[in-house]
């Protein structure tokens, strides 16, 4: 059986980017996390400890986004690494980091990276 937990639209203000202005001014980001796991027992017994706690997912994302990186690829990989090492029962995960209104020469709403891994 395949079960999926999604924590979508985690809105954060962070200071990622290669430009000096990005380090000083910062910008808005949105992170989406999808985790495949087996939460049959949690669903059957209504117990939090038998599934993945959304609070832990949000905490990990928030902590990693607070650490400055030049590249969202780097921060995205750090988020994946922490989710994989700290949460039990994940069989597959997907993390999307979106940078809103990036400072590039053009009219662009956002740029994003997606990292997907099977464990």
Q: Do 13 and 29 form a contact (C-beta atoms < 8 A)?
A: yes
Classify residue 106 as exposed, middle or buried by CB count within 10 Å of its CB (0-12, 13-18, 19+): exposed
Which of the following is catalytic: 2, 11, 70, 99?
Answer: 99
Annotation marks residue 11 as catalytic: no
Phi, then psi, of 94 in degrees rounded to 5: -140, 130
Q: Do 115 and 94 form a contact (C-beta atoms < 8 A)?
A: yes
Give which of 12, 17, 15, 13 is closest to 70, Cα–Cα: 17
Q: What's the sign of the alpha-carbon dihedral 73, 75, 76, 78?
A: positive
Residues with a catalytic annotation lie at 99
């Amino acid at each position: 059986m395949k079960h999926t937990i999604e924590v979508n639209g985690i809105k954060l203000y962070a200071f990622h980017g290669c430009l000096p202005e990005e380090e000083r001014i910062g910008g808005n980001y949105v992170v989406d996390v999808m985790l495949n796991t087996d939460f049959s027992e949690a669903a059957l017994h209504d117990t939090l400890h038998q599934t993945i706690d959304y609070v832990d997912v949000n905490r990990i994302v928030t902590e990693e986004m607070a650490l400055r990186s030049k590249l969202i690829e780097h921060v995205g990989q750090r988020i994946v690494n922490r989710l994989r090492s700290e949460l039990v029962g994940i069989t597959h995960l997907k993390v999307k980091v979106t940078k809103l209104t990036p400072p590039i020469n053009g009219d662009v709403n956002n740029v994003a990276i997606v990292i997907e891994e099977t464990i």
